[in-house]
Structure 1
Amino acid sequence: MKLSHIFFIILGVLSCTTSLPTLVMSAEESSARIVNGFAVDISQVPYQASLRVRTITGWSHSCGAVVISTRALATAAHCGVNFLNQPSSLVAAVGTSQRSSGGTTYSISRIIIHELYSNKTLEHDIALAITTQSIVFGLNVAPVTIAPLGITLPNNAEAIVTGFGATAYGSTASSVLLAAQVKIVDQTSCVRSYLRITAITSGMICAIGTNPSRDACQGDSGGPLVYNNNLIGIVSFGEGCADANYPGVYTRVSAYESWIYQKLTGI
């Protein structure tokens, strides 16, 4: 079982639609140095954040995260579970398109993991990272809307996934923020794809891009999947990266709307 890909970003060229932000690609960004994709400026996805972990040489990108309020970021539970007792080992970097520099960093005072999170099945793979100080909003830093419980997500609806992860399975991480357009996969098809690997539950949502294959990859865990300016998914796991037989699996944010707001009222 490769729930190892806990996870992800192999990216493809984004087309502009009314429900997606307009992401502009330069000639330089379209070169082969970014596999099937292109860099995106943080001003176009100002909710994107990076969780960095303290190392002997400084701070290093660990997981993606999503700005949802002045004091909180959403991320994957598997990104934060090892820091419950040492949240100060993490900082949240916001407002930057660079993996390891730029923007503003905020110390983390607390990690809140969903009470039913399972590190075996990755069910309820959602957490909140609480900052010690209020996040200052501006052109490059802004919260995303949390998808409401009743949101309608048509099959094949186009969404955007972003992150600083690998550009191919087992490859090195991207030094800049990347974005990809992916399509929502119907739940029955996703359940069938993972039938011999793991259970796909109602708290999960699946998506993938095709022609060429586009997906998230190692290092993108905890990052956002956004549809119509709503945060509908958090990068969770997959089988490899951009494998047409295995869509990427995300935590279905709308299923945790009430949990998120309940926790936000307590910070």
Structure 2
Amino acid sequence: MQIKKLQKIRRSNIIEGTEVIDALSYSQKLKGPWAGHVARISDNRRTIRLPSCPGPIGTRNRRKLRSRWVDYIIGILDAVTSRSVGVIGGEPARIEDFSYLASLWKRGKFHCGASILSHRFVLTSGYCVILLNPSRYYVLAGTADIGTQEGGQRHNLEQIIRHDHFNDQGQNDICLLKLATSLVFNSKVSAVRLPESNIAFSQDTFFNISGWGSQIVHGNISATLKNTLVPFLDRNICKEIFNGEAVVTRNMMCAGSKDHTAGDADNGGPLVLHDTVVGIVSTVAAHGNVAYPTICTKVSAYLDWIRDNMKERFAKKLKRT
């Protein structure tokens, strides 16, 4: 299926004057690791990026997958006219219900989501800390309103511990942030639980995803916290949907649908099941497609890394004192 055919799926939903740019042409303008990965639909300040349609996958599954793919594309084109912000399909949420959630700020501006592991450690995405300079960031916890930051706890960073094998394809996309001062736990600030190493999911599993991210690429973030439930998506189906446009390894997992998924700038936030962080939002709909599944780092694959680094950093602190 070519880009020209994609226009015909729901042409009535595309704002008049919308420009369609093929992936090759766009890649010449796009800098960074995502160059050439996506095509783009844009209308001035709003941008929706479309990967190419999946190729041959076998006679038995072709019709089913093609139908699923068209559903996702329709969701994307529907979203071109959407002006809401926050987690896609999300509803306003209270921080007391998601007290493990924190936000990461860079140079005084909201940057990413994060989850609280202990009084001194916060978990986020490696993408969120390209600048490995703790003085450029701070963590905000205990408030659903990042516009006023009312009632929140602000903590500077002492250290950024990003996985040594993190790369721009999203592999090993995990990072620990050590806070310079301890969080004060209360009804609005608490730690999320880590999963068991053998945790498994089924098609009937739904996760909580929360954040302040935008529903459109480079759009306004949500000043208030949003939350939605997202379904588990089999990794093989997820790989077929992205068709090589994004890496989906065994250390990753997918969740979401065309109506409910993470938004732009929700990166680093937690994918949660029963107060247990099972995923870290890594690739948000191929960097912007509002109707695609969210690719997450599978936390259970990094339990040793998390625990070893938290113990090591804590031990070093004890030795200094």
Q: Normalised by the size of structure 1, how large is the TM-score?
A: 0.81
Cα 1:155/1:33, change in 2 over 3 Å: closer
> Quick check: 1:155–1:183 contact (8 Å CA) kept in 2?
yes
What is the match of residue 300 of structure 2?
Answer: 254
Match of 1:76 among 102, 125, 147: 125
1:200-237 C-alpha deviation (Å, 9 max, x unpaired): 10111100135xx0111111110011012210111111
* Displacement after TM superposition at 1:155 (Å): 2.2
* Cα distance in structure 2, aligned partners of 1:99 and 1:2: 31
Match of 2:204 among 142, 156, 160: 156
Instruction: Find the residue that maps to 1:256 and give its secondary structure.
Output: helix
What is the match of residue 173 of structure 2?
Answer: 125
Residue range with higher mean Cα deviation, 35-44 or 156-165: 35-44
> Quick check: 2:85–2:213 contact (8 Å CA) kept in 1?
no
Are 2:105 and 1:52 equivalent residues in the alignment?
yes
What is the match of residue 87 of structure 1?
Answer: 134
Could you tell me which runs of 5 or more consecutive residues in structure 1 were left unpaired when the two chains were aligned: 5-31
> Quick check: 2:85–2:221 contact (8 Å CA) kept in 1?
no
**Aligned residue identity for 2:179:** T
Instruction: Find the residue that maps to 1:109 and give its secondary structure.
Output: strand
**Aligned residue identity for 1:165:** G
> Quick check: 1:214–1:242 contact (8 Å CA) kept in 2?
no
> Quick check: 1:235–1:251 contact (8 Å CA) kept in 2?
yes
Task: List aligned pairs for 1:1-267, cutoff 5 A.
Answer: 1-2=37-38, 36-54=89-107, 59-82=108-131, 84=132, 86-100=133-147, 101-102=149-150, 103-119=152-168, 121-209=169-257, 213-237=259-283, 238-239=285-286, 240-243=288-291, 246-267=292-313
1:93-137 C-alpha deviation (Å, 9 max, x unpaired): 000001231201011011001011002x11010001100111111
> Quick check: 2:85–2:216 contact (8 Å CA) kept in 1?
no
1:24-53 C-alpha deviation (Å, 9 max, x unpaired): xxxxxxxx7876331101000001101111
* Cα distance in structure 2, aligned partners of 1:97 and 1:252: 26
* Cα distance in structure 1, aligned partners of 2:126 and 2:176: 8
Cα 1:112/1:168, change in 2 over 3 Å: same
* Cα distance in structure 2, aligned partners of 1:200 and 1:44: 30
1:154-205 C-alpha deviation (Å, 9 max, x unpaired): 1231000011100334432111111110001011101111223132101111
Cα 1:208/1:78, change in 2 over 3 Å: same
Q: Quick check: which has more Rg, 1 or 2? A: 2
**Aligned residue identity for 1:45:** F
Higher relative contact order (CA 8 A, sep 6+): 1
> Quick check: 1:88–1:108 contact (8 Å CA) kept in 2?
yes
* Cα distance in structure 1, aligned partners of 2:85 and 2:230: 21
**Aligned residue identity for 1:209:** S
Question: In the comparison of the two structures, how many residue pairs are matched?
Answer: 229
> Quick check: 1:93–1:105 contact (8 Å CA) kept in 2?
yes
> Quick check: 2:213–2:221 contact (8 Å CA) kept in 1?
yes
Moved over 2 A (4+): 32-37, 167-171, 238-242
* Cα distance in structure 1, aligned partners of 2:163 and 2:183: 23
* Cα distance in structure 2, aligned partners of 1:262 and 1:2: 37
Could you tell me which runs of 5 or more consecutive residues in structure 2 were left unpaired when the two chains were aligned: 1-36, 41-83, 314-321
> Quick check: 1:215–1:241 contact (8 Å CA) kept in 2?
no
Determine what percentage of the aligned residue pairs are the same residue. 28
